Amino acid sequence: MSSENLLKKVEQIWEKYSVLTEDPKARAWFDDSYKGKRQTNYRAVDFLMEEIVHTGICSSCTACVVICPWDVFTYSENHPETTRTDRCTDCGLCVQVFPEMPLPADPRENVFGSSKAKTDDFGFYLDIFLSRSKIPEVRARAQDGGTATALLLYGMEKGLIKGVVVGDVSKENPGMPTHKLATTKDALLSSSGSRYVCSPNMLAIEEAFSKDISPTAAVGVPCQVDGLRYIQHGGVYRPISERYRNNVALTIGLFCSEAIVYEGIADLAKQLGIEIDDNVLQHKGQSHHKNKGQRVRVSSKKDFRKYVRPDCEFCKDYSAELADVGFGG
Ligand SMILES: Cc1cc2nc3c(=O)[nH]c(=O)nc-3n(C[C@H](O)[C@H](O)[C@H](O)COP(=O)(O)OP(=O)(O)OC[C@H]3O[C@@H](n4cnc5c(N)ncnc54)[C@H](O)[C@@H]3O)c2cc1C
């Protein structure tokens, strides 16, 4: 998608946004697009694809893909696709776990329970700490202080967790975000550091289930954490919720102001005349691309904004407030 088209898409999304907001116009849009049409043959999955995936509202958290009991979705090219719609029974779960939807149960109450969480601009939290890892090999590759990786390594070494669901990039196509189930120290270390793209991490939780690896920890940006928490604590479908609650023991959130759209990475690399590798780094609005030791800088924040994922433009969760621990630089 070209940068211009991306900007147009963002405008379109703003027009429709948002399902959860109190704005009566948005509510009317939701009622009309979803509830109204549900009286006819319009299925939940049609709404999901037409209004969320194809419009660019989808954050690629993959909650819909993993919750579908009939395996209707395939995840491809950074988006869910409905390749087996004939199997769909219109149960509506895929729409319910879209992280902007109103839920039967408030996951905040279920995650924080009766604890005395504080609330301010960071959202809900119990306490805030400054930290960094003391382990040199962790610090050498980690994005900030390496506390996220150090904590996960500790959990693995003590046998508290057997695997970690992390983000990575495809070996064949280094700009393409992917998921990874890390079960060794080396695998965890090699995927540390931030890639400013949205990876379908929840697919790795399914991989852990299929390999009987439990308990696991899951790492993700707020939309990924929200998708997971919606499944675990949103009161949507008990058998699946329990499975996710019983097997995913720790949720690590990464603070996030935005991620880059995949097409944006390719466009950015082309403009800079460099190859895409797994080191597309963005920091405080300026973008750097480390390429064989070189560092290239995109001139301005405005230049960079056109590569931001449309769904990030209206995300309301910066600190991954539903995670057990949230990390930011
Ligand atoms: C898209 C994105 C946007 C961010 N925006 C901000 C921001 O605006 N402000 C801020 O303070 N911090 C932001 N962060 C978080 C920050 O970059 C660090 O991840 C965080 O401070 C933890 O640092 P660390 O050294 O402890 O992590 P590390 O020890 O390096 O561990 C990072 C972990 O995150 C996983 N990971 C990396 N990329 C992804 C991804 N795309 N999706 C899921 N998991 C991933 C790695 O596999 C690793 O397990 C962002 C991170 C991402 C991925």
Taking only the tens of pLDDT, the chain with its 329 residues reads 555 665 666 666 666 555 555 566 666 766 777 777 776 778 889 989 988 898 888 889 999 999 999 999 999 888 899 989 889 998 889 988 988 777 777 787 778 776 667 888 888 888 899 999 999 999 998 999 999 999 999 999 999 999 999 988 887 877 788 899 999 999 999 999 888 888 899 999 999 999 999 999 999 999 999 999 999 998 888 899 999 999 999 999 999 988 887 777 777 777 767 666 655 554 444 555 555 555 555 556 666 677 788 888 778 789 998 999 999 99
Residue given tokens 């969320």 in the structure block: 52
Residue 187: its pLDDT value, please? Answer: 96
Residue 22: its pLDDT value, please? Answer: 54
Residue 283: its pLDDT value, please? Answer: 45
Q: List the beta bridge partners of residue 325.
A: 252
Residue 284: its pLDDT value, please? Answer: 40
Out of 60, 122, 143, give the residue to mutate to test ligand 1, the one with the largest number of ligand atoms within 8 Å of its CB.
Answer: 143
Give the global pTM.
0.88
* 8 A C-beta contact, residue 202 and residue 61: yes
Residue 296: its pLDDT value, please? Answer: 57
The distance of Cα 126 from the centroid of its chain, to the nearest Å, equals 23
Residue 2: its pLDDT value, please? Answer: 59
**Ligand 1 binding site (Cβ under 6 Å of any ligand atom):** 142-149, 166-167, 177, 191-197, 199, 201, 219-221, 254-257, 259, 327-329
Q: Whose CA is nearest to atom 7 of ligand 1?
A: 256
Nearest ligand 1 atom, CA 191:
47
Residue 65: its pLDDT value, please? Answer: 96
Residue 323 φ then ψ, to 5°: -75, 160
Residue 285: its pLDDT value, please? Answer: 42
Out of 194, 262, 318, give the residue to mutate to test ligand 1, the one with the largest number of ligand atoms within 8 Å of its CB.
Answer: 194
